[in-house]
Amino acid sequence: MKLAKIDHVSVSVADIEKARDFYGRILGLTQIPRPDFSFEGIWYKLGDVMIHVIKTARDSKHVDRADISAQDAHLAFYVESIEEFENIIKKIEEEGLPWYELDHSPSGLRQLFFKDPDGHMIEIVTPDPSNPYYESVYLKYYV
């Protein structure tokens, strides 16, 4: 058996319209057509991977969006430049979302963490040439 690639990831949400606003307007993902399943959902495509946002069948609990940890399961999105990374910080600040940046990440990346309306952790990453680990880790293992 040989796995070829990741086809999609799915995220369960309580409110489809809040999710559409977050993933579409705030993160800027492109919505794509979705088959007519018996449950609500939205599909997005980013590169070769699809993100399936699915309305959960369970009752959701209140999630503390300020409790942010890089150790939580998360979706990570790559941006091409420090400028785009800074634009995302500005946008989530305008939205009033709690966030934090992992300072001097040992990955050689800039890493930003925040949560969607259902409490799913979102990470944004970009290479950071000013990071002391950029050459020894990022260029060695990521490129």
The CATH number assigned to the domain holding 23 equals 3.10.180.10
The DSSP H or E segment spanning 18 is: helix 16-20
Average pLDDT taken over every residue of the chain: 85
Dig out the tokens for 96 from the structure. 């009033």
pLDDT of residue 122 exceeding 70, the answer is yes
Q: What are phi and psi of 141, to 5 degrees?
A: -110, -25
How many of the other CB atoms lie within 10 Å of CB of 60? 13
What is the domain range of residue 91? Answer: 66-143
Same domain for 123 and 79, yes or no, is yes
pLDDT at 1: 65
pLDDT of residue 108 exceeding 90, the answer is no
pLDDT at 26: 95
Rg of the chain in Å (alpha carbons): 16
DSSP E strands, 1-143: 8-13, 30-32, 41-46, 49-55, 74-78, 99-102, 109-115, 121-127
- The pTM (predicted TM-score) of the whole model is 0.76
pLDDT at 116: 92
Same domain for 143 and 84, yes or no, is yes
Overall domain count for the chain: 2
